[in-house]
């Protein structure tokens, strides 16, 4: 059951202090420029103060979902193959639930999955073979319980024997799964989960698991590799050094690459196939500058000609920075920065995008981004693309 947003306070994110300080400075400046007859400045910790950080020209979402109970984190999009208009948005809430929304942003109570310790990130894959039949699945991380939860779609029923241990045999402080992305290998249809964690060593920060039928109608996971450079970079918050982390992970199924946010350093790229030559060799690092602080959610807008865009959340900047998906001629690992799009989401963490047309309100694709007021925002790709980015499905530039 959903609790009213105003009735359930949530823990302030670690970057909220920076945001409030910026808001205080902005409010102080505005107050100094106004006369004594002007309206009083809002309190520094009020929603009005937080909104100061949203750019005046920020995109407005097509709609905002109903609020979850505690603290939204990461969305995933399930496309209904029989009727795209009945597609679903799955969204984690750190209170221990996975909410399911329709395309109007309404919560579907009977599909809400509860009872988790702390639901962090979630992803979807299609055509997983279970008991000889292809099904669609969602896999989410439960950070407090150190589990991966696997659910059958669209029913949202668990098929994981109560949860699959993540980072097993590691010390407790090196477990705590956070980010997740699923990869389906084209050559044999094998499905893998790529999982990040709250803390981990450089070179083995992420683990990749093969997800399989265990023969009883449930699934199991087998570790196939550990990989992933981590910068150990720190940032300052009220004079205290804070170590970055790796949370957001995304996979480009069609092109076969993994991307993850080394929050204070950049976005790193690896082969998705664990059996690829030099699978553990970093292919690129980009998005290294221009961010207010942390790099968070990664979303891939795929066009059917192999081109497209990689969107990276500039969390404290309340914006998404957009890079080429396909790289440059002769160098597929050179991801050129194209533009920054300011959004109305605040402190956006997880995000997801599809170029499939699921509704006339999103004629070239749907982008879903978490906002820190217990909601998810739905944006139209047409609004993000503007006049200078391509639109699916044919990859052509919009008509002037």
Instruction: Answer yes or no: do 126 and 43 share one domain.
Output: no
Residue 241 inside a domain? The answer is yes
pLDDT of residue 295: 96
Shared domain check, 113 and 16: no
User: What CATH number corresponds to the domain at position 144?
Assistant: 2.120.10.30
28 with 126, same domain? Answer: no
Q: Give the global pTM.
A: 0.86
Q: In the prediction, which pLDDT does 47 show?
A: 40
Token code pair at residue 365: 């694709």
Q: Quote the tokens at residue 64.
A: 């905002």
Residues 33 and 130 in one domain: no
179 and 32 inside one domain: no
CB of 298 closer than 8 Å to CB of 250: yes
Residue 6 lies in a domain: no
Nearest to 349 by CA among 175, 119, 57: 119
**Same domain for 243 and 335:** yes
The residue range of the domain holding 26 is: 11-53
Q: Is residue 62 scored above 50 in pLDDT?
A: yes
* Rounded mean pLDDT, 163-172: 96
Q: How many domains does the chain have?
A: 2
At 48 the pLDDT is 41
pLDDT digits (tens, 9 = 90+) for 220-244: 999 999 999 999 888 767 677 788 9
Same-domain check for residues 133 and 48 = no
**Does some domain include residue 400?**
no
Model confidence pLDDT, tens digit, residues 353-399: 999 999 999 999 999 999 999 999 999 999 999 999 999 876 655 54
Q: Give per-residue pLDDT as tens, 287-345.
A: 999 999 999 999 999 999 999 999 999 999 999 999 999 999 999 999 999 999 999 99
Weakest-pLDDT range from 15-24, 98-107, 173-182, 183-192: 15-24
Comparing CA positions, the residue from 394, 378, 395, 383 lying closest to residue 77 is 378
Q: Mean pLDDT over all residues of the chain?
A: 88
Distance CA 308, CA 358 (A): 18
Contact call for residues 218 and 157 (beta carbons, < 8 A): no
The pair of structure tokens assigned to 89 is 């948005």
Model pLDDT, residue 20? 41
Find the DSSP H helices in the chain: 16-33, 47-50, 381-385
Query: Is the residue at 339 inside a domain?
Result: yes
Q: Residues 35, 166: one domain?
A: no
Query: How many residues would you count in the chain?
Result: 400
Q: What is the mean pLDDT of residues 21-48?
A: 40
* Same domain? 32 vs 154: no
Query: What letter does residue 50 receive in the DSSP assignment?
Result: H
**Same-domain check for residues 372 and 294:** yes
Q: Is residue 118 part of a domain?
A: yes
Asked if residue 120 and residue 22 are part of one domain, the reply reads no
**22 and 130 share one domain:** no
Cβ contact 66:2 at 8 Å:
yes
H or E segment and range at residue 347: none
* Domain assignment of residue 197, yes or no: yes
First to last CA, the chain: 47
């Amino acid at each position: 059951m959903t609790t009213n947003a105003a009735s359930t306070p949530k823990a302030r994110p670690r970057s909220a202090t920076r945001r409030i300080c910026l808001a205080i400075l902005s409010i102080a400046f505005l107050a100094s420029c106004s006369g004594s007859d002007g309206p009083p400045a809002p309190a520094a910790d009020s929603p009005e103060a937080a909104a100061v950080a949203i750019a005046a020209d920020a995109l407005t979402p097509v709609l905002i979902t109903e609020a979850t109970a505690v603290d939204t984190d990461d969305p995933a999009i399930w496309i209904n193959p029989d009727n795209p208009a009945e597609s679903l948005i799955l969204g984690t809430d750190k209170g221990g639930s996975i909410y399911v929304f329709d395309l109007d942003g309404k919560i579907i109570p009977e599909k809400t999955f509860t009872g988790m310790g702390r639901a962090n990130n979630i992803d979807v894959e299609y055509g997983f073979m279970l008991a000889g039949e292809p099904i669609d699945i969602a896999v989410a991380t439960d950070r407090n319980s150190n589990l991966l939860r696997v659910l059958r779609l669209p029913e949202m029923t668990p098929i994981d024997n109560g949860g699959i241990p993540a980072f097993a045999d590691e010390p407790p402080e090196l477990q705590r799964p956070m980010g997740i992305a699923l990869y389906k290998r084209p050559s044999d249809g094998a499905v893998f989960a790529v999982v990040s964690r709250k803390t981990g060593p450089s070179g083995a920060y992420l683990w990749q698991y093969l997800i399989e039928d265990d023969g009883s109608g449930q699934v199991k996971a087998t570790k196939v590799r550990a990989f992933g450079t981590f910068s150990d970079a720190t940032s300052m918050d009220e004079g205290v050094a804070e170590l970055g982390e790796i949370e957001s992970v995304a996979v480009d199924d069609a092109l076969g690459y993994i991307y993850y946010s080394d929050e204070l350093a950049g976005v790193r790229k690896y082969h998705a196939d664990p059996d690829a030559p030099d699978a553990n060799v970093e292919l690129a690092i980009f998005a290294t500058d221009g961010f207010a602080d942390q790099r968070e959610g990664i979303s891939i807008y795929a066009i059917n000609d192999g081109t497209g865009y990689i969107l990276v959340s500039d969390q404290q900047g309340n914006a998404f920075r957009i890079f080429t998906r396909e790289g440059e001629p002769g160098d597929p690992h050179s991801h050129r920065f194209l533009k920054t799009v300011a959004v109305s989401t605040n402190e956006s963490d997880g995000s997801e995008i599809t170029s499939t047309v699921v509704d006339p309100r999103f004629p070239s694709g749907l982008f879903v981004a978490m906002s820190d007021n217990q909601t998810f925002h739905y944006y139209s790709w047409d609004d993000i693309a503007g006049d200078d980015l391509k639109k699916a499905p044919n990859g052509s530039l919009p008509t002037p």
